[in-house]
Amino acid sequence: GIQVEQSPPDLILQEGANSTLRCNFSDSVNNLQWFHQNPWGQLINLFYIPSGTKQNGRLSATTVATERYSLLYISSSQTTDSGVYFCAIISSGGYQKVTFGTGTKLQVIP
């Protein structure tokens, strides 16, 4: 099956710093999403981005489907950004199944 790898696995930032999270995948995709898992465990949709670039406030994401990677940018990080960030994909031949990456655990310290 398709492989989804995220880096770095762990990240500690000082409040106000910027960061880039990466998601590599091994096959062509129909769908790519970024999620933030909050401390209570809920997965919050950040971006639906099978290709191109999108921005939402301090967050933006870029997917280069031909090169099989996606990047999530967090600017001016805040303590509320802490949590785990997941990349999730549906491969072109993968029916409707969503495959998750291993996640990046972000801690933003004051």
> How many C-beta atoms lie closer than 10 Å to residue 76's C-beta?
11
CB of 23 to another protein, least distance (A): 13
**Which residue, 12 or 98, is less far from another protein as judged by CB?**
98
What is the Cα gyration radius of the chain? Answer: 13
User: Any contact of residue 3 with another protein (CB under 8 A)?
Assistant: no
Comparing CA positions, the residue from 80, 82, 83, 89 lying closest to residue 23 is 89
Distance in Å, CB of 45 to another protein, minimum: 7
Q: Does 85 bind another protein (CB under 8 A)?
A: no
Contact 15, 23 (CB under 8 A): no
Cross-strand bridge partners of residue 85: 36, 104
CA distance 105 to 86: 9
| Shortest separation between residue 63's beta carbon and another protein, angstroms | 13
With CB under 8 A as the contact rule, which of the stretches 14-22, 32-40, 57-65, 70-78 interacts with another protein?
32-40
Interface positions with another protein (CB under 8 A): 30-31, 33, 35, 40-43, 45, 48, 50, 86, 88, 90, 95-98, 100-103
